[in-house]
Structure 1
């Protein structure tokens, strides 16, 4: 399925990153008309989809003929790829021969029916990773991995990657995730946020007050906010534990913000478990798309926040960290995956491990408004200089150019 895309203009981003915009246009002139297709699992409900909704239109504006295709697959396929995702992050789960066969069959079917007539095809994550096996032509393939593969289940990793030797480059959030057979073609490739998207644009006082009223956010209380999928790796139980410890010293609220992704059937089960764990505490707010929370609402909730919290035990990158930092709030988080390169400990947030340490860090920030504000300013500048969409498009163009030129 071809995803319908909005129109975005690179010139609108010059106010944030003029040098990057100029570099993108410079490379874009050399690649004008080049056909580039991105392929992933879903058009909504996940970080990859959000990225592509900005990245692909900006590539187009620079002169590249870019498009975005999404897999067409039954729910049984997504049950298998969820297991695949978890095993690549280290879970000890068995994937049967029948499940592997379904995985390969869906990839073969999609290779035939998706619009993949292109010079460069960028495959995102494991779901469509085998499409190149069933597609003839002279396209250059790039694999973009958004998962923490630092300690994968080796049985699954070796079986998956044994048929992935057609890729010219493999892009990982951080080099810690790189393993054979990609060590010689790997590129460090952090993702980005779109400062002009509904999720990150500036908002008026009236808009924020409306969101606060709609979702029962008490603007007189400090708000700790977690933005994460309902996924065991996010450890939302620890988020609730941290909140409860902070609550012993400060009258705070906790917002757990999430979207129920199409390609994550396991998420519904975990959602119910977390709800039960939270109990009837009215200061724990579950704010999801089931209650009408879209990108603009997430933006507003983050701006109404005091501190961001992230308790994931494994994390590919954790772009929600940059989103919160862009709103000028420090984040307290576990030092996992890409989180630890976004947060500079003691400068724009705190990196801590257990529940006691995380709660103590939040208490320290709530106890010192001057440090809280200073870290917030540092947080926004870190994102502006490193993790905006323009830097991301520039990185893509540089990689594509290197692949085309051999």
Structure 2
């Protein structure tokens, strides 16, 4: 089991001392996180580390996973898409099934904690089924800047019951919501299997295990097979890059339990890249394997993130932590992690030629790539490690729990 002591060489004693000091008033308090999946996606990864570390600080922190039927997760996936600007046919039956799943789950989940933190839309209505005796926080991890108005109005009725909404960027602040709103940027765990330092031997072993040759430069995108991650667009960009530099593309993403659209998107990508898959110039991977992701992000010449919507995009910080240069969309929370031309390149999400040009530039200029990678790692050390996230949550809890 990890402890804060393990992070001292990475973040320094001053950071750890500050965490212990902030945690003292919360000693013995009982905090509960609830989300909808235990693996796949950034939320589960964050909670997996943060719950352990806050318990190490002497705070009793628990984590529960919401139960749901396939119909429920199909509906909440539509909600997820619509919150980020997609269309939705918001029928009464969708609303009833959504609310009913939360009501049913409340029977299994007894809450007598000092604070409750609800993550994303899936468990949002739970608050309606309890006698509220403590602060409740809604932590929304998605991009709310283009939300479908009908869905937002429906969900807002539940959000109004909360003491606070936490978002990832100032862009997502809602002027029509009379609930306190606080910005907390996500972060990565530098000691998790996905981000810890691994040897060349381990990298080689995992790339070989998953059939990834290293005879030419690798370009990689790590993300779910999700329409907002634009994997089909990534293939189109790769075709432009390959005209200039012989290289290989790897698209690697897990299939999360709360994302029923994943295989549909995967099959579209397969059709788009059919000939390139047969020649092994494009490799698609759906394995949930953190060491593989680590190996890919470390071994790749360039990591890209061509999202058209992105709440934050932790895969960007993950790549930067390995010293790998990135070419990423100028969208959502991604620009919070990138100084364009300093520690990476920002490109407009739909500018395929722009993406290709920047990737080719990095492939042809290894010195520039190395410099950007070094700057990227130091930026992540300063701003986007899990210890900073724990500190932000301690500030939040001290503010709300009297």
Coarse TM-score class (shorter-chain normalised): over 0.9
Q: 2:286 aligns with which of 281, 285, 288?
A: 288
Q: Output the CA distance in 1 between the equivalents of 2:28 and 2:82.
A: 39
- Whether the aligned pair in 1 keeps the contact of 2:36 and 2:65 (CA below 8 Å) is yes
Kindly state the Cα deviation for residue 26 of structure 1 after the two structures are TM-superposed. Answer: 0.7
Moved more, 105-114 or 127-136: 105-114
Residue ranges of structure 2 left out of the alignment (5+ in a row): none
- Whether the aligned pair in 2 keeps the contact of 1:169 and 1:403 (CA below 8 Å) is no
Q: 1:395 aligns with which of 375, 378, 392?
A: 392
Kindly state the Cα deviation for residue 129 of structure 1 after the two structures are TM-superposed. Answer: 0.5
Tell me, yes or no, if structure 1 residue 386 matches structure 2 residue 380.
Answer: no
- Whether the aligned pair in 2 keeps the contact of 1:92 and 1:153 (CA below 8 Å) is yes
- Whether the aligned pair in 1 keeps the contact of 2:135 and 2:401 (CA below 8 Å) is yes
Count of matched residue positions in the alignment of Structure 1 and Structure 2: 396
Kindly state the Cα deviation for residue 57 of structure 1 after the two structures are TM-superposed. Answer: 0.6
Runs of 4+ in 1 over 3 A off after TM superposition: 180-184
Q: 1:147 aligns with which of 142, 146, 154?
A: 142
- Whether the aligned pair in 2 keeps the contact of 1:107 and 1:128 (CA below 8 Å) is yes
Kindly state the Cα deviation for residue 115 of structure 1 after the two structures are TM-superposed. Answer: 4.0
1:10 counterpart residue number: 4
Q: Output the CA distance in 2 between the equivalents of 1:146 and 1:360.
A: 31
Q: Output the CA distance in 2 between the equivalents of 1:179 and 1:211.
A: 44
1:172 counterpart residue number: 167
- Output one character per residue of 1:99-150: Cα deviation in whole Å (capped at 9) or x when no partner: 1011111111212212422100000001001111101241210110000001
- Whether the aligned pair in 2 keeps the contact of 1:80 and 1:95 (CA below 8 Å) is no
- Output one character per residue of 1:236-264: Cα deviation in whole Å (capped at 9) or x when no partner: 11111111111111110101010001011
Q: Output the CA distance in 2 between the equivalents of 1:183 and 1:222.
A: 51
- Whether the aligned pair in 2 keeps the contact of 1:330 and 1:349 (CA below 8 Å) is yes
Counterparts of residues 248-327 of structure 1 (less than 5 Å):
248-281=243-276, 282-289=280-287, 293-327=288-322
> Could you state the TM-score of these two structures normalised by the residue count of structure 1?
0.95
- Whether the aligned pair in 2 keeps the contact of 1:45 and 1:260 (CA below 8 Å) is yes
SS at match of 1:163: helix
1:3 counterpart residue number: none
- Output one character per residue of 1:278-303: Cα deviation in whole Å (capped at 9) or x when no partner: 113111011221xxx51111111111
Counterparts of residues 83-122 of structure 1 (less than 5 Å):
83-122=78-117
> Could you state the TM-score of these two structures normalised by the residue count of structure 2?
0.96
Moved more, 208-217 or 340-349: 208-217
Q: Output the CA distance in 2 between the equivalents of 1:123 and 1:349.
A: 33
Kindly state the Cα deviation for residue 183 of structure 1 after the two structures are TM-superposed. Answer: 5.9
Q: Output the CA distance in 1 between the equivalents of 2:376 and 2:249.
A: 21
Counterparts of residues 139-288 of structure 1 (less than 5 Å):
139-182=134-177, 185-281=180-276, 282-288=280-286
Change (3 A) 1:181 1:9: farther
- Output one character per residue of 1:263-287: Cα deviation in whole Å (capped at 9) or x when no partner: 1111111111111111131110112
SS at match of 2:88: coil
SS at match of 2:144: coil
- Whether the aligned pair in 1 keeps the contact of 2:120 and 2:141 (CA below 8 Å) is yes
Q: 1:356 aligns with which of 353, 356, 363?
A: 353
Q: Output the CA distance in 2 between the equivalents of 1:264 and 1:218.
A: 30
Tell me, yes or no, if structure 1 residue 44 matches structure 2 residue 76.
Answer: no
Kindly state the Cα deviation for residue 181 of structure 1 after the two structures are TM-superposed. Answer: 4.5
Q: Output the CA distance in 1 between the equivalents of 2:41 and 2:308.
A: 18
Q: 1:81 aligns with which of 76, 79, 82?
A: 76
Tell me, yes or no, if structure 1 residue 404 matches structure 2 residue 398.
Answer: no
SS at match of 2:192: coil
Tell me, yes or no, if structure 1 residue 53 matches structure 2 residue 40.
Answer: no
- Whether the aligned pair in 2 keeps the contact of 1:170 and 1:182 (CA below 8 Å) is no
Q: Output the CA distance in 2 between the equivalents of 1:163 and 1:273.
A: 36
Kindly state the Cα deviation for residue 216 of structure 1 after the two structures are TM-superposed. Answer: 2.9
- Output one character per residue of 1:58-104: Cα deviation in whole Å (capped at 9) or x when no partner: 01000110000110111110011011111111112112101101111
- Whether the aligned pair in 2 keeps the contact of 1:198 and 1:295 (CA below 8 Å) is yes
